[in-house]
Structure 1
Amino acid sequence: MQIKNIILYKNKTQIRVLPFDLGTVNIITGESKSGKTALIDIVDYCLGSRDCKIAEGVIKDNVYWFAITIVFNQNEEYFIARQNPNTKGIQSISEIYIEGGHFESPPDFDQIIPNSNIGYLKDFLSRKLSIAENLQIAEGNTRDPLEVNFKHARIFCYQPQGLIAQRDYLFYNQTEPFVPQAIKDSLPYFLGAIREDSLKVEQEISQKRRELNKLLRENGEAEKIKSEGVSKAFSLIEEAKAIGILSDSTTAASVEESLKLLIKLKDWDSNPVNIETTGENSALKDLVKTRSELKHDLGKLEDNISATSNFIKNNFSYTEEIRQQQIRLESVKLYNVANEGDNQHCPLCDSELNVEIPSIEAIHKSLESLNKNLESTTKESPRLNEYLAKLNQQKEILKTEIEKAEKSITALYNQQEKARTLRDLNIRRGKVIGRISLFLESVDFTEDKTLSAKIENLKQEIKYLQDQVDRETKEENLISILSKINLQMSKWVNNLDVEYTDVSIRFDLNKLTIFADTINKAIPLHQMGSGANWVSYHLLIHFALHQHFIQSQRPVPRFLIIDQPSQVYYPPEKDEELKGEIKESADEIAVRKMFDFIIETTSALSPNFQVIITDHAYLKGDKFRKHVKEIWRDGRKLIPEEWYK
């Protein structure tokens, strides 16, 4: 992929086209503030960058559409346009317009209508570059897997002004979060150190591992069932004997005999044993009610017996008291009859009494009354005893009836308990038969050789696939490729203005920097003095990488845009001096060596590599000037003056 042109649209009539030659060096030289630095940001924006990094000012104030035409394989062209976000007052726009075809002239302004977005563009460019479906998995899964795509490839295509002379960083956007790690993860793929179909192979390994784990589980379950099957079979036979399905005398001397017994039991016809208990609840209810009534009657009868007994007892005490009184009254026969009418003298001693005593006649009358009462009481006593005897007889009858009722209730309770026990037995038998059926369906005492063969075959297939994506193989390939790149940089180092010549130059992927391996020690880029060293080593690593990408046909765009590589020699304040041809100084000699290196190396890779350079310098000699596409001086700039004046 190379860039055919950059196109800026202000409106229908004002269109700026900046053309480039394919497969060679394109130089745009000019003074400061002419728009040179914006080219990288414009290209990156049109190729789907998330943010619009084009600086505010004349360019964004006067452009409606930013567009580029890219070319694949020298003839397949695609026009990509993306709207200036300032036209909508936002930071970035995700919609794009993309069209394929052969473009002699850019599409009309009115023709450009968004038809896609940057997500599709990223996938489209990844496919066009033939970036295979991949997934770079960190060792030990210490971070999320990285899917390499076009956005990682463009990192190696830009060297902005602030980066080309940077001693701490080598690659585009390296200062942004996660980008350094993304470079470390994606560069081995772009270099070709790992298989193109690594993701497919990894997915196949994962699928086969899942199949293997499934077979191992099945095999483990089979082995477990087999090991436990013997004891389980005998255990089920003992259960069957305990619930009466098998007789107690049944024995099984071997596994085969036990299986035969269990197979017979699996089809055992269960005839549940039942006890008829129809109406048992109503009968029990009537018996309980009858028992309650009998106990109530017994209570009343016992109350009557107690009352009668108490009456007889009290009546006997009354009779005894009457008899005693009678004896006492009969003593009056001792009284003097002569004094019967005299109530003032004692009938015994004739002494005078202070209190008048009852007359003898009254005492006799009282005694006669007592004798009559005593006679009546004596006559009633046999009748009470007879009544009491009847009550006791009724009591015994009631107690007998109550005892019969309680026996009947107990019998009903026992009958219900037996019914429950039989129901439980039927349930237990059904459960045992079910376990026997399940056991016979799951157990298999025959050896499954096919399962073992499948497991062994899967293990061999997984090992073969793992060997294809083996991490050690990847590391070995990466070391080999980086050694070739380092060797190429070491050969080129004398063609540039650097401090360390005739030494080995080495790129460290883990640290993302360059080392000069001197006799005494390895010196990293950030410890090398002079901006000339920093620019030269940036050029060395990028040209060495692109040479490898091209020679190995790796899926990386075939262009490199470099902004102001001569800035360390010609700062912007020397623009006036650079307008004319001056006598070559040491700095100009160094700059010429740098451009000669770029032109010669690009020419050696032609037509597969394109370099676009924006710079202040305008060197003497046809070698430089034949590659100059435009000179932005004396009012000529990226944005024509008539657009804003």
Structure 2
Amino acid sequence: MQLQILEVILWPKAAGLPPRRVPFEPGKVNVISGASKRGKSSVIPIVDYCLGSRLCAIPAGTIREACAWFGIRVQTSEGEKIFARREPGKQQSTDEMMLLEDSVLDVPTDTPKKNTTRQAVKHLLDRLAGLSNLGFDPEEPRSGFQGRPSFRDTLAFCFQPQNIVANPDVLYFRADTNEHREKVRTIFPYVLGATTAERLAKKWELENLLRELRRKERERAAHDTVSATWLANLQVWVTEARELGLLRGDALEATEETLIVALEKVLAAGEEGNGFSAQGTGASADEYAALQTEESKIVLDLSVARHRLNQITAVRGTVGYYKGALDSQAARLGVSRWLRTLSNDGARCPICDSAMTSSSGELEQLCDALATIENETHTVSMAPPVLDRDLVDVKSKLSLLEDQLKAVRIRKRAIESRSKAIREGEQTSARVARFLGRVEQALELFSARSAPGGLNEELEKLNDSIEDLRKSLSEQQYALKLDAATARVSKDITRIAAKLDVERKDAPARLDIKELTVGVRDDAGREDFLWHLGSGANWLSYHVAAILALHVFFLRQLHSPVPALIIFDQPSQVYFPQRLTRPTAQSEEDDIGDEDVASIRRFFEAMGKLAAHFKGKLQIIVLDHAGPDVWDQLEAVSLAEEWRGNDYLVPKDWLDILE
């Protein structure tokens, strides 16, 4: 997901003062360096608050007292946006927010005015991330742990505050609480690409079919329960028919087929009457008319639902066809980037061996066309997840309407059959009429299961559909895909950690998405989790390596829902930050160019190389005591601001007014 911070903005409570703007460069490692108590550790809570956190974690005191609103200006795939949120005062938080959107935005100097809510901002961010609107567990759709994925969940992989960045027990943002820890476990297969929006839609469809199957099986179980006494009932009804004078002749063989044939003859003979009674005719006619009206309405609703299903299916098909066409174009144009790389390196054409400098303009045009196609592919790919909920809902509605239509038609056929029996063979005895109706209903009920389109056929179709869905939701394929993703991330963790300050640089590391930590194997093959390892340097190294490796994986995906943004707060805290805050070295003993500083520089170097490698797609913000003399002249690493002396996050004149 494209979301990079251009500015953090503070609006003062005091009138007449301009907003405080802290700028950041997209696609680079931005460092805010400074001494303690300058506001560095407030940056992550401010960004989190403006991105829709439930509670305000901005530290109470000077910042909250001086600021009226907090905001961020961000760059997204849809242009620039400003998310601003009011300081909550005595409350834990407020839902009052301001949202501005345009291709390029100017930061308003006046105090923001509410024009949206936190929930609306969260929905916007969910849409930008291309997240599915289906929950992970169709059986418990409202469960907090198994609810639908949200943009807020993905921030677990973006923020490393001071209490997390070198914590041996907690690796991910907010995973120190049970609620968020369980949600991170749930969302991990989704962000790793093993669980997709298509897979979630199929799981929901499967659950709907299973519910329908259970309902139909309960119907059949009811039939089977009655069937145990079916033969006895047939014999009772034959005896009663003889008593009523409706059946004559010798005693019948006590078999189901013989008794049913005899009762069907009784029904046929009993239908030879002179017509309806006036009262019976009126009641049947009224009921029949009402059923016809209900049937017409259901048929109309079915037509609308089927039309809606066809529209959704057509749109999904068109999007898929169009995305395939874009992918084919991108594949054909992909070689242009390779050729441009050769041109930049001064190499000669691999085909004709001629100089490639003369064709640089054409190569740039091809690369620009490829970038346009990739952006279009991203936009098109966001359409299917949005339609998943509509597809599930319309299929459920179709199933319900078909059942309602079937029920109405069964009642109509019953009236038609009953009316015919009364019309063609009116009985003079109420007991005879009730008897015939009871027998007729029982025979229809027990023959309905095996009739074409009956219960048995419906159950067979349901079981076939369920089996097909279960095959497409192969747990084995899912497990293989998840294992492949975690293995890829684990390999990158091992590679990145070896360049940092781990104790054993050749030790294989493994991403554990169940324990939400990193495991490290020793020479004997034993795996130790972070909390088993000693040294803050080890903890910090594996934190940084794990977060960077995950973002490498996310950026290599076609469309990842995780923002390409990382914020580290005080990563150098394990390396004597008091020495790094000194403005100058007083002697050789105080010189900061020691082994610890070399270690810290390796962290900045790894971040810078990663940001440079992805050419503007990844932004990293580091809030640290370490000054430019520690990380200066590193690739893609630049100073955003330095807060020392009279420089703070909150301007000095704001603080003077407070006093």
TM-score under structure 1 normalisation?
Answer: 0.70
- Whole-angstrom distance in 2 between the partners of 1:583 and 1:203: 59
Q: Does 1:609 align with 2:618?
A: yes
CA gap of 1:104–1:223, structure 2 versus 1, over 3 A, is closer
CA gap of 1:444–1:126, structure 2 versus 1, over 3 A, is same
Q: Does 1:634 align with 2:638?
A: no
CA gap of 1:624–1:488, structure 2 versus 1, over 3 A, is closer
CA gap of 1:24–1:240, structure 2 versus 1, over 3 A, is same
Preserved contact between residue 132 and residue 197 of structure 2 (Cα < 8 Å): yes
Partner of 1:618: 627
Q: Does 1:554 align with 2:560?
A: yes
Preserved contact between residue 133 and residue 199 of structure 1 (Cα < 8 Å): no
CA gap of 1:48–1:233, structure 2 versus 1, over 3 A, is same
Partner of 2:283: none
Q: Which residue of 470, 473, 490 corresponds with 2:477?
A: 473
Amino acid at match of 2:633: D
The Cα offsets for residues 375-394 of structure 1, whole Å up to 9 and x where unpaired, read as xxxxxxxxxxxxxxxxxxxx
CA gap of 1:211–1:266, structure 2 versus 1, over 3 A, is farther
CA gap of 1:498–1:185, structure 2 versus 1, over 3 A, is same
Amino acid at match of 1:609: L
- Whole-angstrom distance in 1 between the partners of 2:617 and 2:530: 29
1:256 deviates by: 2.7
The Cα offsets for residues 15-39 of structure 1, whole Å up to 9 and x where unpaired, read as 1111111111111111111111100
- Whole-angstrom distance in 1 between the partners of 2:189 and 2:636: 37
The Cα offsets for residues 55-102 of structure 1, whole Å up to 9 and x where unpaired, read as 1222111111100012213x611111101112xx32211121112113
The Cα offsets for residues 529-553 of structure 1, whole Å up to 9 and x where unpaired, read as 2211111110010001111111113
Partner of 1:83: 86
Secondary structure at the aligned position of 1:105 is classed as coil
- Whole-angstrom distance in 2 between the partners of 1:3 and 1:82: 16
Partner of 2:117: 117
- Whole-angstrom distance in 2 between the partners of 1:532 and 1:108: 44
Partner of 2:548: 543
CA gap of 1:430–1:95, structure 2 versus 1, over 3 A, is same
Amino acid at match of 1:175: D
Secondary structure at the aligned position of 2:178 is classed as coil
Partner of 1:293: none
Taking the TM superposition and a 5 Å limit, the aligned residue runs for 1:15-94 are 15-73=19-77, 76-86=79-89, 89-94=90-95
TM-score under structure 2 normalisation?
Answer: 0.68
Partner of 1:523: 528
Preserved contact between residue 225 and residue 443 of structure 1 (Cα < 8 Å): no
Partner of 1:154: 155
Secondary structure at the aligned position of 1:162 is classed as coil
Amino acid at match of 1:603: A
1:235 deviates by: 2.8
Secondary structure at the aligned position of 2:506 is classed as coil
- Whole-angstrom distance in 2 between the partners of 1:575 and 1:265: 105
Taking the TM superposition and a 5 Å limit, the aligned residue runs for 1:260-275 are 260-266=265-271
Partner of 2:465: 461
Is 565-574 or 245-254 further displaced after alignment? 245-254
Secondary structure at the aligned position of 2:163 is classed as helix
- Whole-angstrom distance in 1 between the partners of 2:636 and 2:459: 70
CA gap of 1:113–1:50, structure 2 versus 1, over 3 A, is same
Preserved contact between residue 146 and residue 186 of structure 2 (Cα < 8 Å): no
- Whole-angstrom distance in 2 between the partners of 1:72 and 1:248: 87
Preserved contact between residue 263 and residue 440 of structure 1 (Cα < 8 Å): no
1:223 deviates by: 7.0
Q: Does 1:246 align with 2:265?
A: no
CA gap of 1:166–1:444, structure 2 versus 1, over 3 A, is closer
CA gap of 1:5–1:131, structure 2 versus 1, over 3 A, is same
1:153 deviates by: 0.6
- Whole-angstrom distance in 2 between the partners of 1:624 and 1:7: 27
Which sections of structure 1, spanning at least 5 residues, go unmatched?
271-424
Secondary structure at the aligned position of 1:182 is classed as helix
Rg (Cα) greater in structure: 1
CA gap of 1:240–1:456, structure 2 versus 1, over 3 A, is closer
Preserved contact between residue 136 and residue 147 of structure 2 (Cα < 8 Å): yes
- Whole-angstrom distance in 2 between the partners of 1:596 and 1:188: 30
CA gap of 1:9–1:236, structure 2 versus 1, over 3 A, is same
Amino acid at match of 1:6: V
- Whole-angstrom distance in 2 between the partners of 1:38 and 1:586: 30
CA gap of 1:91–1:455, structure 2 versus 1, over 3 A, is closer
Q: Does 1:442 align with 2:448?
A: no
1:203 deviates by: 2.0
CA gap of 1:52–1:217, structure 2 versus 1, over 3 A, is closer
- Whole-angstrom distance in 1 between the partners of 2:99 and 2:646: 33
Q: Does 1:491 align with 2:495?
A: yes
- Whole-angstrom distance in 1 between the partners of 2:106 and 2:433: 89
Secondary structure at the aligned position of 2:483 is classed as helix
CA gap of 1:138–1:594, structure 2 versus 1, over 3 A, is farther
CA gap of 1:579–1:118, structure 2 versus 1, over 3 A, is farther
The Cα offsets for residues 306-361 of structure 1, whole Å up to 9 and x where unpaired, read as xxxxxxxxxxxxxxxxxxxxxxxxxxxxxxxxxxxxxxxxxxxxxxxxxxxxxxxx
What is the aligned residue count? 488
The Cα offsets for residues 109-137 of structure 1, whole Å up to 9 and x where unpaired, read as 25x22122212222210111101123223
The Cα offsets for residues 376-428 of structure 1, whole Å up to 9 and x where unpaired, read as xxxxxxxxxxxxxxxxxxxxxxxxxxxxxxxxxxxxxxxxxxxxxxxxx9554
- Whole-angstrom distance in 2 between the partners of 1:625 and 1:248: 103
- Whole-angstrom distance in 2 between the partners of 1:269 and 1:235: 28
Preserved contact between residue 18 and residue 109 of structure 2 (Cα < 8 Å): no
- Whole-angstrom distance in 2 between the partners of 1:437 and 1:448: 16
Secondary structure at the aligned position of 2:197 is classed as coil
Partner of 2:8: 6
Secondary structure at the aligned position of 1:256 is classed as helix
- Whole-angstrom distance in 2 between the partners of 1:197 and 1:587: 49
Partner of 2:202: 201
